[in-house]
Every structure is written in structure tokens, then in C-alpha cells.
Amino acid sequence: MDEKMNYYAIDRKEWQDFYRDGVPPLSENELNRIKSFNDKISMKDVQNIYIPLTHLAHIYMKEFESLQLSKGLFLHSYLPMPPFIIGIAGSVAVGKSTTARLLQIMLQRTFKRRNVELITTDGFLYPNKVLEKKGILNHKGFPESYDMEKLINFLNNVKNNHEDLKVPLYSHSVYDIVEGEYEVIRQPDILIVEGINTLQLPANQRIYVSDFFDFTIYIDADPELNKKWYLDRFMALLEIARTKPDNYYYQFANWPLEKAKALAENVWENINLKNLNEYILPTRSRADVVMHKTDHHHIDKIYLRKY
């Protein structure tokens, strides 16, 4: 990691010693159910990595709540407590979704009175027909492919404790927004926002998505590992889609193996890697915590932002 000056570098063994008293709040079967394709995570990871991470998030939450109470005292007014928002960023196929779902369960069960919700920024992608009209369907996932105004308005409404907020539903099976279907977010105490664009600073915007975050995590890995995990996931999705004509990947599922692999490599090199290098990786230095992965999604080092 290049931004070492602004981070405490902590190896796995030292990190796990920071908070040894916790008991994993989920079973191994539950953990297996929330894993993404080809992601590797164990109960040992929960114990050694995610319990200390949950404890650290709680420290940030207490400081956040203390500041809100102090503002109320300063203004001689009661201020409703806004939700605490956690942002999770990183490359395609690096394991963001697994981290987000696991963190949601851990926070729900550690702080039983808190309502913990989770969204992905995929729901704020423009529909494919809009991307086609704009001529940027092959830039899906790039900053210009998101309706950032809608995402920022949503986060602003969350912070202002609006009720029953709708998030457009994105389906990875059809590779598009599902028209007319929504996920409803009901006044969370904690909201986890997962997506490749959560820490980005798009040009010509006065407010950024990250302005709403109170604690941020970046999942990091060598780009060559990201490529391997992406290719593995692509091939696994083809296998699942082989008998499902409605699945986006069905059109590629019966191609010769080498042709399908060539397509996946082309998508990685010309879309995902370009997006990673130009728009995702530069946001790493903005995260509060960077979790670094090696082979088999093993987390070997954690970087904690100094200031």
C-alpha cells in the first residue's frame, strides 16, 4: 500500500489481539450462506478479523453519537440522532458483498436494539436502456453509469431520518435494474452502503457520497488476484446460467470454454481493470480501514487511518 504515512500497518496476529473477548454471533452454516461466489471466509476470520472490526466500528459510533449530542447542547435544542453510515469499497470480485453481509449480521446481533440495514450502490446504476442511449453500456460501473443525484438524495434522506425509503432493485441475474421493484429501507440506526463507487469524488459535484459516511472500509488486493477472482466468478456464473434462459449469462454459457474465458479476460482488461486503476484504487487512501487480502481471500494485514 502506497499511502503508508497516513496509516498504522497492523498484521493479522496483532489485529486479532486487540479484542479477544468476543464470541462469533453466527454459526458456520449462516456464514456459508452469506458468502459470495468463490469468496473464502471462515469462522476463524470472523473471530480474528471481524470481531475486532465490529469493536472498532462501535468506537466510531460512540464518538459520532457524542458529537451529535454535543451539537444539540450547543444549539440548546433536541436533535434527532441521524443514522450511522458505513461505506464499503473495493474492486469487482474482491469480496465487498461478503464483508457487508457479515458486518450487518455482526452489528445486528452485537447491538440488538439497533436496526442495521444494507444496500448496494448497484441499485443506483442507470438501467441498461439508459446506458445504451447514452452510449456507455460498456462503461457500466464507471462513475458516469450511476445516477449520483438519486444516490446522494437517498443518503441525505437517510441522514434526515425519513421513513420507508425505496432503493431500486438491481438483479445480477438479468444484469439490469428490475423495473418497478424496490427494496424498502426503514429508518435504520446503522446503514451499510457497499459498492465500487462509495469513496469516489466525481467531477463537478458539490456533495459527494462519502460526505455521508461515518466509517469507511476498503477491501484491497493485488490486481492480478482481483482478476483471478473475477474470472473464477465469471465461469461459476456461466455454469449456473447453463439451464436458465432468462439469466444474462445464458447467452455465453454454451460457448466453447476458451471463447468464454477470452470474453471474461477482455471484460476484465478493458473494463474492470481500467475502472479499478482510474476510479476505484485512487479512493483507497480515503478509507478509515483498509483490509488487505492475499491468496484465497486471506486477510493478512489491516491499515487503520491515523488522522
Cβ neighbours of residue 237 closer than 8 Å, sequence gap 6 or more? 37, 249
Residues 290-307: what's their mean pLDDT? 96
Position 218 scores a pLDDT of: 98
Cβ neighbours of residue 288 closer than 8 Å, sequence gap 6 or more? 60, 215, 216, 217, 304, 305
Q: Among the residues of the chain, which ranges form H helices? A: 12-16, 28-34, 43-45, 51-75, 96-110, 128-134, 148-159, 223-241, 250-253, 257-267, 273-275
Position 78 scores a pLDDT of: 93
What predicted TM-score, i.e. pTM, was given to this entire model?
0.95
Cβ(173)–Cβ(246) below 8 Å: yes
Residues 250-259: what's their mean pLDDT? 93
Do the strands 7-11 and 165-171 form a parallel or antiparallel pair, or are they unpaired?
unpaired
Residue 252 clears pLDDT 60, i.e. is over it: yes
Confidence band of 66 (pLDDT split at 50, 70, 90): very high
CATH number at residue 122: 3.40.50.300
Residue 4 clears pLDDT 70, i.e. is over it: no
Sign of CA dihedral 62, 64, 65, 70: positive
Position 274 scores a pLDDT of: 96
Residues 163-185: what's their mean pLDDT? 95
Position 204 scores a pLDDT of: 66
Domain hosting residue 176, numbered range: 4-305
259 phi and psi angles, rounded to 5 deg: -65, -40
Structural domain count, the chain: 1
